[in-house]
Amino acid sequence: MKYLEDIGSYFLMIKRVFSSPTKTSVLRELIFKEINDLIISSLGIVAFISFFVGGVIALQTALNLTNPLIPKTLIGFATRQSIVLEFAPTFISIIMAGKVGSFITSSIGSMRVTEQIDALEVMGINSLNYLVFPKIVALMIYPFLIAIAMFLGVFGGWLAGVYGGFTSSTEFVQGLQQDFIPFHLTYAFIKTFVFAFILATVPSWHGYYMKGGALEVGSASTKSFVWTSVLIILSNYIVTQLLLS
Amino acid sequence: MIKVENVKKRFGEEEILKGITTTFDKGKTNLIIGQSGSGKSVLLKCLIGLFKPEEGRIYYEENAIQDMDEEQQRILREEIGMLFQGGALFDSMTIEENVMFPLRMFTKMKKSEMLDRVNEVLNRVNLDNVNKKYPSEISGGMQKRVSIARAIVNKPKYLFCDEPNSGLDPKTATVIDNLIQEITHENDITTIVVTHDMNSVMEIGEKIVFLKNGVLVWQGTQEEIFKTDNKDVTDFVYSSDLFKKIRDIQNKEQ
Residue B13 has pLDDT above 80, yes or no: yes
Residue B252 belongs to some domain of the structure: no
pLDDT digits (tens, 9 = 90+) for A13-41: 999 999 888 889 899 999 999 999 999 99
Distance CA(B134)–CA(B167), nearest Å, equals 19
Task: Report how far apart, in Å, the C-alpha atoms of A158 and of each of A55, A68, A163 are.
Answer: 7, 20, 8
pLDDT digits (tens, 9 = 90+) for B143-187: 988 998 999 898 899 999 998 888 788 888 888 888 889 889 988
Record: contact A124-B48, CB cut-off 8 A:
no
pLDDT > 90: what percent of chain B?
Answer: 39
Residue B236 belongs to some domain of the structure: no
Our CA-based measurement puts residue B244 at a distance from the nearest CA of chain A, in whole angstroms, of 36
Task: Report how far apart, in Å, the C-alpha atoms of B107 and of each of A155, B100, B155 are.
Answer: 52, 10, 12
pLDDT digits (tens, 9 = 90+) for A56-88: 999 999 999 888 888 999 999 999 999 999 999
Tell me the residue range of the domain where B86 lies: 2-229
Average pLDDT over residues A140-155: 96
A195 φ/ψ angles, rounded to the nearest 5 degrees: -65, -35
Q: What does the pLDDT read at residue B238?
A: 79
Q: What does the pLDDT read at residue A188?
A: 96
Q: List CB contacts of B104: < 8 A, sequence separation 6 or more.
A: A23, A25, A26, B114
CB A153 within 8 A of CB A50: yes
Q: What does the pLDDT read at residue A32?
A: 96
Record: contact B88-A116, CB cut-off 8 A:
yes
Q: With contacts defined as CB-CB under 8 Å, which chain A residues touch B70?
A: 20
Residue B237 belongs to some domain of the structure: no
Record: contact A116-B91, CB cut-off 8 A:
yes
Total domains in chain B come to 1
State whether residue B126 is helix, strand or coil: coil
Residue A226 has pLDDT above 90, yes or no: yes
Give the distance from CA B245 to its chain's centroid. Answer: 29
Our CA-based measurement puts residue B48 at a distance from the nearest CA of chain A, in whole angstroms, of 7
Q: What does the pLDDT read at residue B1?
A: 87
For B162, the closest chain A residue by CA position comes to A115
Distance CA(A171)–CA(B127), nearest Å, equals 70
Tell me how many residue pairs between chain A and chain B have CB atoms under 8 A apart.
Answer: 55
Task: Report how far apart, in Å, the C-alpha atoms of A95 and of each of A55, A88, A101, B182, B228 are.
Answer: 18, 10, 9, 54, 65
CB B83 within 8 A of CB B125: no
Our CA-based measurement puts residue A123 at a distance from the nearest CA of chain B, in whole angstroms, of 5
For A117, the closest chain B residue by CA position comes to B88
Record: contact A116-B90, CB cut-off 8 A:
yes
Q: What does the pLDDT read at residue B169?
A: 83
Residue B245 belongs to some domain of the structure: no
- Report the 3 state secondary structure along B175-224: HHHHHHHHHHHHHCCEEEEEECCHHHHHHHCCEEEEEECCEEEEEECHHH
Q: What is the CATH number of the domain that holds B46?
A: 3.40.50.300
Would you give the end-to-end CA distance of chain A in angstroms?
Answer: 34
Our CA-based measurement puts residue A196 at a distance from the nearest CA of chain B, in whole angstroms, of 24
Q: List CB contacts of A28: < 8 A, sequence separation 6 or more.
A: none
Q: List CB contacts of A106: < 8 A, sequence separation 6 or more.
A: A207, A217, A218, A220, A221
Residue B253 belongs to some domain of the structure: no
Average pLDDT over residues B48-64: 89
Record: contact A123-B102, CB cut-off 8 A:
yes
Q: What does the pLDDT read at residue B159?
A: 92
Q: Of the candidates B88, B87, B69, which has an alpha carbon nearest to the alpha carbon of residue B172?
A: B87
Record: contact A123-B49, CB cut-off 8 A:
no
pLDDT digits (tens, 9 = 90+) for A77-130: 999 999 999 999 999 999 999 999 999 999 999 999 999 999 998 888 999 999
- In degrees, to the nearest 5, what angle opens at C-alpha A126 toward C-alphas B27 and B214? 50
Q: With contacts defined as CB-CB under 8 Å, which chain A residues touch B75?
A: 124
- Residue A159 banded pLDDT, cuts 50, 70, 90: very high
Q: With contacts defined as CB-CB under 8 Å, which chain A residues touch B91?
A: 110, 114, 116
Residues from A contacting B (CB-CB < 8 Å) are 20, 22-23, 25-26, 110-111, 114-116, 118-119, 121-125
The DSSP annotation for A6-75 comes to HHHHHHHHHHHHTSSPPPHHHHHHHHHHHIIIIIGGGHHHHHHHHHHHHHHHHHHHHHT---TTS-THHH
Please give the DSSP secondary-structure letter assigned to residue B66: G
Residue B249 belongs to some domain of the structure: no
Distance CA(A203)–CA(B65), nearest Å, equals 33
- Residue B201 banded pLDDT, cuts 50, 70, 90: confident
Over chain A, what is the mean pLDDT? 94
Record: contact A122-B70, CB cut-off 8 A:
no
Q: Please tell me the pTM assigned to this model.
A: 0.87
Record: contact B49-A26, CB cut-off 8 A:
no
CB nearest to A26's CB, from B88, B104, B160: B104
CB nearest to A122's CB, from B70, B75, B80: B80
Record: contact B82-A125, CB cut-off 8 A:
no
Our CA-based measurement puts residue A135 at a distance from the nearest CA of chain B, in whole angstroms, of 16
B74 φ/ψ angles, rounded to the nearest 5 degrees: -65, -40
Q: Of the candidates A108, A115, A89, A134, which has an alpha carbon nearest to the alpha carbon of residue A203?
A: A108
Q: What does the pLDDT read at residue A142?
A: 94
Helix (H) or strand (E) holding B1: none
Residue B254 belongs to some domain of the structure: no
Would you give the end-to-end CA distance of chain B in angstroms?
Answer: 39
For B74, the closest chain A residue by CA position comes to A124
Helix (H) or strand (E) holding B32: strand B29-33
Q: What is the ipTM of this complex?
A: 0.83
pLDDT > 70: what percent of chain A?
Answer: 100
Average pLDDT over residues B115-126: 90
Our CA-based measurement puts residue B118 at a distance from the nearest CA of chain A, in whole angstroms, of 17
Q: With contacts defined as CB-CB under 8 Å, which chain A residues touch B80?
A: 122-124
CB nearest to B77's CB, from A110, A111, A124: A124
CB B48 within 8 A of CB A122: yes
For B88, the closest chain A residue by CA position comes to A116
Our CA-based measurement puts residue A74 at a distance from the nearest CA of chain B, in whole angstroms, of 51
- Residue A144 banded pLDDT, cuts 50, 70, 90: very high
Residue B98 belongs to some domain of the structure: yes
CB B218 within 8 A of CB B228: yes
